[in-house]
Amino acid sequence: MEQKTAHDFDQELLILFDAYVHGGIDRRSFLDQAAKYAVGGVTAAMLLEQLSPKFVEAQVVQHSDERIVQEHIEYPSPKGYGTMRGYLARPSAGGRAPGVLVIHENRGLNPHIEDIARRLAVDGFVAFAPDALFPLGGYPGDEDKAREVFPKLDQAKTREDFIAAAHFLKARPECTGKIGAVGFCYGGGMVNFLATQLGTDLSAGVAFYGSSPNTADVPKIKAPIMIQSAENDPRINASWPEYETALKAAGVTYERHLYPGTQHGFNNNTTPRFDAAAAKLAWDRTVAFFRQNVK
């Protein structure tokens, strides 16, 4: 069956799905409200299935790829949840390479984010993707269950866990000591937050459709920032003007790219919101940005 794209769905249904993905409504509410878009023998449940991730089919770099070495590894987070776990992928050629912290969406470390880490390893980086859900049992293997569990995290501790992850990656023997960070949705917001906290320990940050940090903290950003924005993403885009004003006032080096016709989540190739052309351009820009600022 041919993979559907965002253009196959009503924009209002995509907005409804975005609300469901981000905890604004539950599964039952989504199905109830999606029913009016279910026509021609398609049910609301079938629409949800069509919109949901297809991890296996969408993998870009396989686990078996000989260009990389990978492992799950624990790291200390004394100010956070104590002990955390993440996925480390690095070039198999050996030697030291710059690091990139990879921060997941609001479902924990799912197979798509591990694939992102492998892509970065193929591109010559030591990629480390922590799982914020590790203290609650780790990514449960089911997106609905992950969404249910995620709000139970103590976000103050989780923020410390990501700060600890950045320092852990920076100190790894395979890493040159220079690191960047990339995140998507929740993770994009976390990249913006980390930029305000890590100072010169962060060499570059790329935030895909993530929430803005506290405006008062923006002057603490020392790393160049790249913002990747979807055009059809009013929830996230609403805060951009204030963030940009603060970045300019603080003299922070930044660039923002807005991708026409795209939905929130356009880089995620496991769902119909994926936009192949925009995702390729955004990813090429991301890797070039890291090569310029982290290498």
Confidence at residue 1, expressed as pLDDT on a 0 to 100 scale? 43
Calpha distance 231→184 (Å, rounded)? 15
| Whether pLDDT at 52 is above 50 | yes
What span, in angstroms and rounded, lies between the C-alpha atoms of 49 and 51?
A: 5
pLDDT digits 0-9 by tens, 68-86: 999 999 999 999 999 999 9
Average pLDDT of 126-145?
95
**Domains by residue range for the chain, with CATH:** 6-51 (no CATH), 65-293 (3.40.50.1820)
Identity of the amino acid at 30? F
Question: How far does Cα 254 stand from its chain's mean position?
Answer: 19
Which range (39-53, 129-143, 253-267) has the least confidence?
Answer: 39-53
Quick check: helix, strand or coil at residue 122? helix
Residue with the larger pLDDT of the pair 15 and 219 = 219
Question: Residue 265 in contact with residue 278, Cβ under 8 Å?
Answer: no
Q: Among candidates 151, 158, 149, 153, which has minimal Cα distance to 130?
A: 158
Cβ neighbours around 246 below 10 Å, total: 19
Poorest-confidence range of 8-22, 91-105, 221-235, 278-292? 8-22
